[in-house]
C-alpha cells in the first residue's frame, strides 16, 4: 500500500521501520544506503520527524553515533504511520471510490482538494500498484470505479487498510449505523464456523471481531453499489429480518440474497476445507508439525494445548487460501511483535520457522509467509511458550580456586534462570585441562584465564566477579549459536 505514497513519505516510513528493528544506534551512512538517499536527505527527514512527533518518537540524533529510538513503542510509531498515510491523496481517493463510486473526476477533485491534473498524474501510479492485486481504477463513461477479478479479495484489501486508517469510526464513512447490529450478525456467523471448544477463546479476540465487522461494512458499500459475490450460503440463522431492516435504513439496495456471499466468505475464513481428503491430509500434517516443533523445544503439551495450536494453524491456512496475495497492511503490528520475539527468543522463532517450511513443503502450500501470524497467535493461545528455554552447556575453568568456581557456577546459573536459555555449568573433575574431544561436548567454554588458547570455537573470558556485562556477553554468544 505504501508504494502509492510519494517518495518522501515512503522514505520516512522506511527510516522508522529500520530504527524500530534496531536496539542501538544506526549511523547516517547505513540509513542512507538502506533508503537509497543522501545522508543530507536522511538527516533532514529525521529532523522533521523528530520535530513533528517529539512526543510519540523519543529519537536521539548524534553526529558521532547516528540515530536511535529510546525505548521504542510500536503503538506510538503506529500513530505516526497512520498520520502519514492519512495525508496521502492517493489513499483518500481509494477510500472515496469505495464510498462514492461512479462519480466524475470533478467530484473527486472537490472531495480531495486536489486538481484534475494531480489526480490524472497519480492514476497510473495507483493502477500500477493495484495491478499486482488484480484490481484497477477505471472510468466508464467518464465515471470512476474500482474493479477486481476477485471481489472477496478487494473487500479484504479495503477492510485491512481502512482499519489501519480509521478503525470502526463510522463518522469517517458518513454513517450512523448501530455497530451492535454488525457485531451481532458477524458473531452469529462466527458461532456457525468455529468449533464450540474454541468459540469462547476466539470470541474474546477483539481484533478478529473488528476485522469481521469491517469486512461486513465494506461489503455493504460494495453490494449497495452493485458489486456482488454470488452464493447459496444459508444465512437465515445469522441474519434476522430485524437486523436486515436496520441495515437497509443505510443501504436500501441490499437484500438477503446479495449478502449470502459475504456470509460465506467470512464462514470460510474459519472453516475452509473443501473435501474430506483435504481435511484429513492438512489436519494430519499440521499435527505432525506441532509434534515436531514442540519436541524440538522440549515443550510438553496437553491434548487441549495441542488442539489449540491445531486450531491456530488451520485458521491461518483457511485465510491463506482465500487471500492469494498479501492484503498489504499499512503498518503490521503483528510483524513487529514476532520480530521482537525473534530477537528475544531466537530459538523459538527459528524452530517454528524451520518446521513451518517443512509443513509448507508437505502440503505443497506456502504457509511460510504467515510465520508472524502463527507465532503471534501461538503465544496468545499459550503464553508460556514465549519462555521456552534452549538447553546449553558450559565448562567453567577458573584459576582462583574451587570455592570461587562454585561461586561463579551459581552466579551464572542464577542469571540464566531469568532468560530463555537453560544453561548448565560444569566444573573440571580435577585440576587438569580436559582434552579437545571433551571440550567439544560443550556449547561454550568460560574461563578466567585471559591468555589461554583453548581449542574450542566459542570461548568467553570472564572476570572474577562475572559482572552483568559478562553475563550478557555470554547470553549473546549462546543466543546466536
pLDDT (0 to 100) of residue 281: 96
pLDDT (0 to 100) of residue 46: 92
pLDDT (0 to 100) of residue 2: 72
Among 363, 387, 411, identify where a domain stops: 387
Cβ atoms of 292 and 355 closer than 8 Å: yes
For strands 444-447 and 459-461, give the pairing. parallel
Answer yes or no: is 218 within a domain. yes
Cβ atoms of 125 and 132 closer than 8 Å: no
Q: How confident is the model at residue 330 (pLDDT cuts 50, 70, 90)?
A: low
Answer yes or no: is 77 within a domain. no
Q: Which residues contact 301 (CB under 8 A, 6 or more apart)?
A: 290, 294, 309
Does one domain contain both 403 and 432?
yes
Q: Average of pLDDT values for 144-155?
A: 95
Does one domain contain both 166 and 130?
no
258 vs 269: CA distance, rounded Å: 19
Among 387, 417, 437, identify where a domain stops: 387
Give Rg (Cα) of the chain: 28
Does one domain contain both 381 and 290?
yes
- pLDDT top residue among 201 and 235: 235
**pLDDT tens-digit readout, 344-389:** 888 899 999 999 999 999 999 999 889 999 999 999 989 999 988 8
Answer yes or no: is 197 within a domain. yes
462 vs 421: CA distance, rounded Å: 18
Q: Average of pLDDT values for 72-84?
A: 79
pLDDT (0 to 100) of residue 137: 97
Domain that holds residue 130: 88-149
177 vs 183: CA distance, rounded Å: 11
Does one domain contain both 61 and 93?
no
302 vs 381: CA distance, rounded Å: 13
Does one domain contain both 186 and 98?
no
Would the pLDDT of 146 be above 80? Answer: yes
Does one domain contain both 65 and 142?
no
Secondary structure (3-state) at 127:
helix
pLDDT (0 to 100) of residue 294: 95
273 vs 187: CA distance, rounded Å: 21
Does one domain contain both 342 and 410?
no
Q: How confident is the model at residue 207 (pLDDT cuts 50, 70, 90)?
A: confident
Answer yes or no: is 281 within a domain. yes
Does one domain contain both 200 and 104?
no
8-state DSSP, 102: S
Among 149, 175, 195, identify where a domain stops: 149
2 vs 353: CA distance, rounded Å: 27
**pLDDT tens-digit readout, 391-446:** 889 999 988 988 999 999 999 999 988 887 889 999 987 767 778 888 888 999 99
Does one domain contain both 397 and 362?
no
User: What's the number of domains the chain is made of?
Assistant: 5
Answer yes or no: is 80 within a domain. no
Would the pLDDT of 332 be above 70? Answer: yes
Answer yes or no: is 78 within a domain. no
Answer yes or no: is 31 within a domain. yes
119 vs 122: CA distance, rounded Å: 5
Answer yes or no: is 427 within a domain. yes
44 vs 398: CA distance, rounded Å: 53
Q: Angle at Cα 205 formed by Cα 329 and Cα 295, nearest 5°? A: 90
pLDDT (0 to 100) of residue 431: 66
pLDDT (0 to 100) of residue 73: 76
Q: Average of pLDDT values for 46-52?
A: 90
Neighbours of 347 (CB within 10 A): 19
What's the CATH number where 64 sits?
1.10.10.10
Secondary structure (3-state) at 147:
strand
Does one domain contain both 126 and 182?
no
CB burial of residue 305 (10 Å; 0-12, 13-18, 19+): middle
Output the nine-digit C-alpha cell for 6: 510519494
What's the CATH number where 460 sits?
3.40.50.2300
Does one domain contain both 290 and 372?
yes
Q: How confident is the model at residue 106 (pLDDT cuts 50, 70, 90)?
A: very high
Cβ atoms of 158 and 98 closer than 8 Å: yes
Amino acid at each position: 500500500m505504501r508504494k502509492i505514497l510519494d517518495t518522501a513519505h515512503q522514505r520516512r516510513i522506511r527510516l522508522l521501520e529500520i530504527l524500530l528493528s534496531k536496539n542501538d544506534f544506526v549511523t547516517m551512512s547505513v540509513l542512507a544506503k538502506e533508503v537509497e538517499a543522501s545522508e543530507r536527505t536522511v538527516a533532514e527527514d529525521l529532523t522533521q520527524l523528530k520535530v513533528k512527533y517529539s512526543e510519540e518518537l523519543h529519537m536521539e540524533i548524534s553526529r558521532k553515533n547516528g540515530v536511535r529510538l529510546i525505548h521504542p513503542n510500536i503503538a506510538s510509531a503506529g500513530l505516526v504511520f497512520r498520520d502519514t498515510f492519512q495525508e496521502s491523496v492517493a489513499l483518500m481517493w481509494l477510500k472515496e471510490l469505495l464510498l462514492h463510486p461512479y462519480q466524475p473526476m470533478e467530484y473527486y477533485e472537490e472531495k480531495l482538494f486536489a486538481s484534475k491534473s494531480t489526480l490524472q498524474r497519480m492514476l497510473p501510479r495507483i493502477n500500477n500498484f493495484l495491478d499486482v492485486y488484480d484490481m484497477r481504477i477505471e472510468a466508464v463513461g467518464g465515471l470512476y470505479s474500482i474493479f477486481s477479478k476477485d471481489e472477496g479479495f478487494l473487500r479484504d484489501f479495503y477492510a485491512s487498510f481502512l482499519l489501519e486508517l480509521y478503525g470502526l469510526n463510522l463518522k469517517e464513512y458518513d454513517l450512523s449505523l448501530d455497530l451492535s447490529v454488525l457485531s451481532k450478525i458477524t458473531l452469529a456467523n462466527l458461532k456457525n464456523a468455529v468449533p464450540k471448544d474454541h468459540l469462547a477463546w476466539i470470541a474474546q479476540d477483539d481484533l478478529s471481531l473488528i476485522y469481521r465487522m469491517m469486512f461486513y461494512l465494506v461489503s455493504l458499500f460494495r453490494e449497495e453499489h452493485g458489486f456482488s459475490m454470488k452464493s447459496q450460503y444459508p444465512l437465515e440463522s445469522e441474519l434476522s429480518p430485524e437486523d436486515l431492516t436496520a441495515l437497509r435504513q443505510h443501504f436500501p439496495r441490499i437484500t438477503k440474497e446479495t449478502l449470502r456471499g459475504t456470509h460465506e466468505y467470512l464462514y470460510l475464513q474459519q472453516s475452509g476445507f473443501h473435501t474430506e481428503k483435504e481435511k484429513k491430509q492438512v489436519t494430519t500434517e499440521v499435527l505432525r508439525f506441532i509434534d515436531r516443533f514442540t519436541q524440538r523445544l522440549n515443550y510438553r503439551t496437553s491434548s487441549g494445548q495441542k488442539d489449540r495450536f491445531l486450531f491456530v494453524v488451520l485458521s491461518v491456512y483457511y485465510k491463506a487460501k482465500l487471500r492469494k496475495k498479501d492484503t498489504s497492511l499499512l503498518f503490521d503490528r503483528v510483524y513487529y511483535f514476532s520480530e521482537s520475539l525473534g530477537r528475544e527468543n531466537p530459538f523459538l522463532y527459528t524452530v517454528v520457522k524451520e518446521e513451518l517450511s517443512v509443513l509448507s513443503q508437505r502440503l505443497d502450500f506456502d504457509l511460510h509467509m504467515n510465520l508472524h501470524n502463527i507465532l503471534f497467535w501461538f503465544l496468545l493461545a499459550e503464553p508460556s511458550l514465549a519462555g521456552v528455554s534452549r538447553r546449553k552447556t558450559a565448562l567453567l575453568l577458573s584459576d582462583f580456586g574451587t570455592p570461587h568456581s562454585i561461586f561463579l557456577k551459581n552466579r551464572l546459573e542464577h542469571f540464566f534462570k531469568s532468560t530463555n536459555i537453560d544453561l548448565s555449568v560444569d566444573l573440571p573433575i580435577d585440576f587438569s585441562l580436559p582434552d579437545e574431544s571433551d571440550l567439544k561436548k560443550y556449547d561454550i567454554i568460560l574461563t578466567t584465564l585471559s591468555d589461554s588458547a583453548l581449542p574450542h570455537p566459542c570461548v568467553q573470558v570472564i572476570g572474577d566477579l562475572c559482572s552483568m556485562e559478562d553475563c550478557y556477553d555470554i547470553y549473546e554468544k549462546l543466543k546466536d549459536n
